Amino acid sequence: MVPKAEAAYPQSTDPMRVKQVYLDMIHINEAWAAAGDAKTSMVVAVVDTGVDLTHPDLAGNFVEGTNLLQSGKKPSDDNGHGTNVAGVIAATMNNDKGITGIAPNAKIMPIKALEADGTGGEAKLGEGIRYAVDHGAKIVVLSLGLNKYSDYLANIVQYAEDHDVLLVAAVGNEGTSVKYPAAYPTVLAVGGVTPDKHADSRSNSGPELDLMAPWDVYTTSLGGGYQYQDGSSMAAPQVAAAAALVWAKYPGMHAYQVRDLLKQTAEDLEIAGWDAKTGYGLLRVDQALTQPYTEDRFEPNNRQDKAAKLPVHASIHATLSSAQDQDWYAIDAAYDGAIALLLRSGDSSGIRVRVDSGETYTSGGAADAGQTFTFPVRKGRTYIQLQSVDRTRKTSLSYSLSTDFLIYQDPFENNDKQYKAFALPDRSQTIRGTFHKKGDLDWFVLPIEKSGTMRLRLSVDTARIDPVIFLQKEGEKGVTIDQSGDGTTEISSLMELLPGQYYIRVSNIKDYSEPITGEYALVIEYNPKLIDPNEPNDKSYQATFVGMFSEYEGLFHKNDDVDWFEFRMNKDGLAQVSLTNIPSARTLFATLYDSSLKEQGFYKSQYGADSLFMEKALDQGTYYIKLQADKWFLSQMYQLKAGSYPLVSGFIDIDGHWAVDAISKLTQQEIISGYGNYRFAPDRSITRAEAATVLTRALKLSKLRQLRFSDLTSSHWAYDNVAKGVQAGLIDGYPDGTFGPDRTLTRMEMTQMLARSMNMTGKRRGNSPFNDVDESYWGIGILKQMWADGWISGYPDGTFRPDAEATRAEFVTMLAKVLNR
């Protein structure tokens, strides 16, 4: 026997039902089966562009509506959007035409409030809602939105709530803040999900979001046809239609109960519980029609760790079951600020509210008007606890709770007037502020002492701000910068500034004067025109004299600007010139001249590099540097520094070193060399390959043996010298078959290598001359002999440190001593 529920709403046999994939996502077949025989024709008002009143899949499903744009004319659709919405809700079922609406028994009240291009204002929108309420609609779907808060529209929304009419609205499709009227607490705000149940990136989100429904639909179109459509404006009518099914089955429900039932039966998405991206989850019409409604959908929430998540903008109904019951809520704030909590209780017994920051508030039990408590919150989570004031109470206590968020007052207040402008330093900076009150304006004053350039950039993090910049130099006419729209960034041109007081006013567009939950960022890019302290120095005879190791600054004020500098070498040596702080988009050219202006060198910085380094060995005398750039720059100074170092045997790092004599002697004999940059690096550890090379040169070895070390091939730079040293028996490898050419030489290996060059084999007699080398050490014999013959000595503490790394200076000094024996 077929249940009556299935007889009332059989599965659709309409030919295009297969294209309505979104119906399967919300489990419509199960919902129809659960709808029972409820045939009440719920009236759903579509406040939109009108509806195609002759569409074959909609005709007969209308009640009288109105055209608010052209009085006396029918609310016919001249855009197509309203027809799309109506088909999602109430396209006729099983008429062998097209598609099926979610609530095919519902009646559409077409209200034309939008122009043919889909645009409209709050006045007509509010008028449309009021008409729907006054003419019997139980549900109003609003697939449109505005960024602007409106007291007028807020009152209209409350009018609908007071008359037990449910409002359902699309959140918008810009990937930003939820639009109004969806953002009002008593309106069901609906976003859209993709087929894989993720929030579409274009679906607006935020603390006002309630439910999600499929983003893509196949629905009726203007002219009697059908089409695919997408957007949150196609998701909203799905929720409105679901509400019609629920209300038809449970006609005794109030609007807030239908609203709560749809939330509590939604399919959780992404994060458990409510979240700003997916609200309470995906619409599940089947669960809304099969799961029982609970007056308190947040239970169990009697402990802080079980606190129910609430958005900062919410309107809820719940119950305290007894005097012992506690209701905990967690509210996540995106900014510092305050929460205004409006509490209404079912009778006069009162409810105590505790905030986790320590504040306690008690309602007086004013059941009608309620009481509002406002308490500060920090960015992040705040916990709220509710409990009955009457500790002997045995019965339950119902209450309603509305929350609103008030963003923090920025630290620059009070600066709403030009004469109260907040003084800023004359530099580049970023200012973050808020519009925390109605009509808030933020004035700043920037005292400019040096001529320069400035660019202003004003960005916002919410579409509810349409930012405007006003800039005025004191005593002159101001300029307004407002080229973009809601939620965008305003950028000024690059402006030339002369010294003076500059006033900057940051505001929301005039019509958007309400407090805004969001921040703006004002970026001031100020670059003073710098003055080159060395000018004029465009000719060699005007050259700026450079003291050694002192820093000089300069810039290029035009493309053909040239800067000359002069320095003096008091004796032969190595001159070093460094240029730093070069702008990243500039290339610097440097030419070095002697006193007769004969070129000695040309240097060029790499594009994108911020420095240029030059060094050259020069004789005593006067020299000039000519600097040029590929393009002028005024916003930063390059820095020039010159220095000179004496060259000893061609090196700048051995003057005054304890090993200078040995290094100089072996350099002159061409036994040793540096690293090709005027540096010998005497205190650097010497490698085994370097030591073998120096020793081979010193002893003028010529015979070599083919090597079989696993880590030394013939391609190594020191292969031949190592081979000569091995052939002469001066060096050898390690037991594992390696030589370790790039390993550092130890002091013991150095001593052994030089001992072998003198045919010393070591001796065993006598005690160890060093307190850190005992008789078992493998090189003890060599150390005894070399010490006894005066070739080596240890450190003042009596140690030799045989396994420490030998330096280049130590090796050269010991080798020079051997060669001079």
Residues with catalytic annotation?
A: 48, 81, 233
Task: Give the pairing of strands 326-333 and 380-388.
Answer: antiparallel
Residue 367 DSSP one-character state:
T
| CA pair distance 507, 505, nearest whole angstrom | 6
Place of tokens 């070739």: 791
Place of tokens 């509400």: 243
Check whether the bond before 536 is cis (ω within 30° of 0): yes
* Residues in CB range of 690: below 8 A, 6 or more apart: 718, 745, 808
Nearest CA among 617, 554, 821 for reference residue 699: 821
| CA pair distance 254, 166, nearest whole angstrom | 9
Residue 670 identity: E
CA angle 62, 67, 72 (to 5 degrees): 105
Kindly give the residue spans of alpha helices, DSSP state H, lying in 16-76.
21-25, 28-34
Nearest CA among 205, 670, 760 for reference residue 461: 205
Kindly give the residue spans of alpha helices, DSSP state H, lying in 265-385.
285-290
| CA pair distance 768, 752, nearest whole angstrom | 16
Place of tokens 């800023």: 424
* Residues in CB range of 547: below 8 A, 6 or more apart: none
* Residues in CB range of 675: below 8 A, 6 or more apart: 681
Terminal CA-CA length for the chain = 122
CA distances to 21, 82, 370, 433, 690 from 441, rounded to whole Å, are 49, 39, 33, 10, 74
Nearest CA among 24, 82, 85, 113 for reference residue 234: 85
Structure tokens at 392: 């002997």
151 near 173, Cβ under 8 Å? no
678 near 651, Cβ under 8 Å? yes
Structure tokens at 666: 């072996």
Structure tokens at 725: 């040293």
Q: In what order do the strands lie in the sheet with 611-618?
A: 551-556, 633-645, 573-580, 611-618
321 near 301, Cβ under 8 Å? no
Residue 375 identity: F
- Any idea of the CA torsion for 378, 383, 386, 387, to the nearest 10 degrees? -120
| CA pair distance 247, 387, nearest whole angstrom | 32
Q: Strands, DSSP E only, in 195-336?
A: 211-214, 216-221, 225-230, 308-310, 314-320, 326-333
| CA pair distance 507, 434, nearest whole angstrom | 9
| CA pair distance 84, 98, nearest whole angstrom | 13
Helix H or strand E segment including 169: strand 166-170
| CA pair distance 25, 23, nearest whole angstrom | 5
Q: Which residues pair with 526 in a beta bridge?
A: 454
